[in-house]
Each structure stands twice: as C-alpha cells, then as structure tokens.
Structure 1
Amino acid sequence: MQTSRSVMLVGTGMRPVVAAVATLFTRMDKMKRWLLVLLCALPMLGQAAGYTQTRYPIVLVHGLFGFDRLLGVDYFYGIPQALTRDGARVYVAQVSATESSELRGEQLLKQVQQVLAITGADKVNLIGHSHGGPTIRYVASVAPELVASATSVGGVNYGSEIADLVRANVAPGSVAEKLAVAAASALSGVISLLSGGSQLPQDPLAALDALTSSGAQRFNQRYPEGLPGQYCGDGPLQAANGVYYFSWSGRGNMTNILDPVDPALALTGTFFSEPNDGLVGVCSSHLGKVIGTGYRMNHLDEVNQSFGIHHLFETDPVTLYRQHANRLQGLGL
C-alpha cells in the first residue's frame, strides 16, 4: 500500500510537467503534419505555375456557325481563361461561320501570321473544334513552317452523316434548298454581326459540301497530313511535314438533362451508323495521335457548352484542354 501511495504522490506531483511535455509533443506533431502537407503541396504549386505554358502560342478555331465571342460569351466557354491563367498565350480566331474549309483556312492563315507578328513566335499550336478541324489542317498543310501542332476536337475529318443526310434529302436547286440556305445565311449573318465579324463572307452550301463524306474525301486527298492509314485508326504523332497532330472527341448525346441543347443532339445522334457526339462520328474525328474518344461528351460539351453544363461524372472539358497544353509543353511545343 505504501508503495502504491508513493507512486501516486509522485505522479500527482509530476502531472504539470507531464502535461507540458505532452502539449509540446502535440504541437510538434501538428508542426510535422503541417510540414508534411506543405512538402506535398509544393510539387502541385510548381505544376500550377506554368502548367499550361507552351513554347508557342495557342490559337483556338471555332466550327460551323461558330464565333470567337458572341454577346460576351466565348465559343470555347471558359477555356481561354483556364489556359492563360497558368501561363499559356491564347488567341481565338474568327473565321466565316459558314464557308468551305479552304476559304476558312485562308482566313485563319492570315490570323496566324498576325499572331506571330504580335508575339514574335516562330510557330503556333492550332486547336480546332468541329469544322475547325479541317480548317486548321489546311493551314498546317499549306504552311507547316508556321504550325507546331494541329489538334482536332470533335473534328469533321471524314465528313458527317448529318451533312450526308441533309444533302441526300434536299435536292440541289430545289425550293427546300433555297429556304434552307436563306435560313442558314440569316443565322450566320446574325452570328457574324453580333460577334463583330460581319465583313466575313458566308456560303452555307459551300460549308455543307465541305462537311459531307464526299466533300471531306476530296479535301483529304489534297491535304492528307495527319490522317490515319485506315478509317478509325491512329494517324502519325508527327507527320512528314514536321507538324504534330492530335485529336479527341466525345461519344455522348444526352449528357445532362439541364442542358437545353442536349435533346436536339440526342435526336441527331440517332441518324449515325457509329458512336457519335450528336453531330460527328467518333471514327470521323480521328486525326494524328488519338488522345481519347470515350468521353461522355456531346458536340457542344467538347467546347464546354452550354455554359459549362456537362456530364456530372465525366472529366471537365476544360481539364482536357489544360492537360493537352501541358502535353504540348512536354513535347517542347
């Protein structure tokens, strides 16, 4: 009993010291934890600073009925800002909303030359969506010395079955064609006016022809760089002209019930004979190194429209562009 009491008395007397030591060790543990968190965060901080900083400027190119900015809304919704925030130099081209791939390409070529003059860079990285795919391919083919890479997102590289359907059911010179052309011309005219591109020519029939399978085939015969050796395959990462080629696309139609455009894309998607994004078949989008075609995204999701609404359980479209900029950075582009 005595021994026990003595031990108890000693313990009671040392309690403030023990408590102080325990507090010290607790604080040291907290400091260690915070130090560990900081050390883990440092690589991430290093990644964020300059993560999208490419050697050459990035030029984004819109598709059919597209624009650079319309009433304050970007065609590539939130994407230029996400890229520039971490180091990229980004320019958004404005070409005709409805025209042939070649004419749009000539317009883009002039803007590429302007970007090079402004930045002092030797080349640019081109990223085109939808009809922007063939548009950037034209520039990469006729002026490869000005292009470091060409990336097609949901690009109409082998035509669209929707364009084929329209051409097959609307006879050339018919009243239906004239009405369709009038409606398309009016729409493209309004888009151009509101986006500041009213001086650009518009030709809906030339655009339709370019987007059909036969029109795309003729274009591909003239400008084959970056194309796969066979339909639905992978093309070369770097073509003989020295340009790096990439592509990705979605294979979803109705991806979010809150997006008002999704029902229309769900309908158009039913007319395809292959998986598609609502307007372009997955295999038709292939160009160069195919980064991915399994994304649950439709044609507008690919540019983060409408207003950033996309599939809840799919990669944010903006993330794909950021990752790609970092990919280009890793290749020294």
Structure 2
Amino acid sequence: MSQDCATRYPLVLVPGMLGFIRLVLYPYWYGIIAALRRGGAVVIAVQVSPLNSSEVRGEQLLARIEQILRETGAQKVNLIGHSQGSLTARYAAAQRPDLVASVTSVAGPNHGSELADYLQKHYPADSAKGRLLGVLLRVIGAVMGLLDTGYRGPKLPVDIPASHHSLTTEGVALFNQRYPQGLPDTWGGQGPDEVNGVRYYSWSGTLQPGKTDRGGNLFDGTNRSCRLFAKTFVREAGHCDGMVGRYSSHLGTVIGDDFPMDHFDIVNQSLGLVGKGAQPLRLFVEHAARLKAAGV
C-alpha cells in the first residue's frame, strides 16, 4: 500500500448543511475516503447536526474529536470541512487549537453565502414562504437522519433559523469577529498559513461554461440546481460554485479558487458525476500529501 497520504494525524471529514456520513450505502464523501485510505491515511467521517448553527455543530465536533483521540491514541487531528463544515472546523480549532493540527476549507462560505442572503430576503422565517421552506428542510433532515447508516450517536438537535443565519453574510461576519483565525486581511487575498499552531488551507471551484456543464454534469441534477442558485449572486456574479463565491471561500493558504467544479462536484457528488476535467479525488489525495510534507 502506498503511504503518500499517511499524515501524522488522522484526517477528520466534516460535512456541510444537510450533511451525512452514509445514506444507506451512499457516502457523502463519494470515493474520497477510499482514495485517501489507499494512500495510507487514517480517515474518519463524522456527523454533526445537519441543520444548526456553526457554533453548535462546532461543539459537537469537539466532542467527537476528543473521542477520536481516545480511540486512535493520536494527539491531534487534521480537519477537512466542506461548505458549512469549514465553519464548524474553524470553530473547533479556535476553541481547542491544542487538538487540531490543520483546518482545510473546501468550498467554505468563510465570508457568507449570497444564496443564503437571497433566501433571507425573499423567504424570511416569519413569512408563509419561509415557514414552508423551514418545514421542507425539517422533513428532508428527518428523512436523511433515518437513512444515515453511518451515524450511531444520539439524536442531533435541529435549529433551522440558526442554521440559515450562520451562512448569511451578516451571520458569518459576526462569526468571523469571534473566530478570525486564518482569514485574509484583504478581500480576495490569502490568510496566514498558521495561527496558534494550526495550519489553515482552502480551495473552491467556480461554474465555467464548457467545463462544469459538460462531462458527468450533463446527467447530474445538482449541477442544474447550482446553475439556478448562481443567479442569486451579485457581488460574485460569475465567480461562484452556485452556493459559495470564489473569494468568499478564501482561508489560509489558498490552494485554488477556480477549479472547474460546482458546490457538489468538489466532494465528488453526485455519484462521481462531475464536470469536464474535474478531478476532486486528486485534490484530496494531493492535499493529504501536502499535510504529510508539512509534518501534520
């Protein structure tokens, strides 16, 4: 077995909003865990509340990290978060930097999501449309919870308004005031490589005609959703993955912010049906080698 991905500390994968470990037999991190393990990495996918604030999710993650350290004997973990999972990982690292070697944000809304802003404006929680959306999300979350065969812990709390607010520009701005570690000083810049002994990295994608609308995405409904969601973007119009803007994703060392991938392609969804030339598995494998070279 190759040891190219054999990092010093375990890789802990943190899902985004409405995330899961495995729905019956279908994994959130499609093909990614297997690719990393072939390279010798210790990889653990975790579950946190699919619909809640980044802080609540972060506290759940901290409890899970402590359990992983007891089980593996490791001193720290490397956190890799997708979407809201990146904010969740950032919270955990800010609270307990002694337990975290690195945080990697994959398409993370580190300055908020314009899609969340649009929904807040047009589907406010106290409106009929907002309440209907809330019911729909609650039902989806409940069904996914029943189908998640990868999680065996206690029932996780749901707070839809807190979940939504945690992803808006306003909500993330408040979050960033409390937990600024790894953030760039200037819009579109890179953040510090290391803060309080924790290394920070990020990468993200953008919708690109001729690439992200070709290949497997011709058959992937989530790509059509991302193209629809992209119409809500103003500040980063034409520079988003459908849910997160290119520059909003920046954290720490920016490995890349314009890979030809939508918000789901970047974690090899759905069923590995990704756009033309997209190689999400390669990004994760190369990053594990990067972490190994950094000694973490």
With the length of structure 1 as denominator, give the TM-score of the two structures.
Answer: 0.83
How many angstroms apart in 1 are the aligned matches of 2:125 and 2:40? 49
Match for residue 164 of structure 2? 208
Q: Report the alpha carbon displacement of residue 170 of structure 1 after superposing the two structures with TM.
A: 2.1
Report whether the alignment pairs 1:112 with 2:65.
Answer: yes
Helix, strand or coil at the partner of 1:103: helix
Moved over 6 A (4+): none
Q: How many residues align?
A: 284
How many angstroms apart in 2 are the aligned matches of 1:188 and 1:73? 16
Match for residue 323 of structure 1? 286
Contact 1:254 1:265 in 2 (8 A): no
- From 200, 203, 206, the counterpart of 1:251: 206
Report whether the alignment pairs 1:56 with 2:9.
Answer: yes
Match for residue 231 of structure 1? 187
Helix, strand or coil at the partner of 1:135: helix
Helix, strand or coil at the partner of 2:184: coil
How many angstroms apart in 2 are the aligned matches of 1:172 and 1:131? 20
- From 212, 222, 227, the counterpart of 1:266: 227
How many angstroms apart in 2 are the aligned matches of 1:115 and 1:79? 19
Q: Report the alpha carbon displacement of residue 182 of structure 1 after superposing the two structures with TM.
A: 0.9
Contact 1:154 1:285 in 2 (8 A): yes
- From 166, 174, 191, the counterpart of 2:119: 166
Helix, strand or coil at the partner of 2:34: helix
Q: Report the alpha carbon displacement of residue 328 of structure 1 after superposing the two structures with TM.
A: 0.2
Report whether the alignment pairs 1:135 with 2:88.
Answer: yes
Per-residue CA shift, 1:55-99, capped at 9, x if unaligned?
000000000111011111110101011101121000001011110
- Structure number with the higher helix fraction is 1
What is the one-letter code of the residue matched to 1:321? F
How many angstroms apart in 2 are the aligned matches of 1:98 and 1:264? 20
- From 305, 320, 327, the counterpart of 2:269: 305
Worse overlay, 172-181 or 82-91: 172-181
How many angstroms apart in 1 are the aligned matches of 2:229 and 2:168? 15
How many angstroms apart in 1 are the aligned matches of 2:60 and 2:31? 24
What is the one-letter code of the residue matched to 1:61? V
Identical amino acids, percent of aligned pairs: 46
How many angstroms apart in 2 are the aligned matches of 1:282 and 1:228? 13
Helix, strand or coil at the partner of 1:309: coil
Helix, strand or coil at the partner of 1:257: helix
- From 156, 165, 177, the counterpart of 2:130: 177
What is the one-letter code of the residue matched to 1:68? I
Q: Report the alpha carbon displacement of residue 113 of structure 1 after superposing the two structures with TM.
A: 0.6
How many angstroms apart in 2 are the aligned matches of 1:204 and 1:229? 31
Q: Report the alpha carbon displacement of residue 313 of structure 1 after superposing the two structures with TM.
A: 2.0
Worse overlay, 79-88 or 146-155: 79-88
Larger relative contact order, structure 1 or 2 (CA cutoff 8 Å, min sep 6):
2
Match for residue 79 of structure 1? 32
Structural RMSD (CA):
1.2
Contact 1:258 1:309 in 2 (8 A): yes
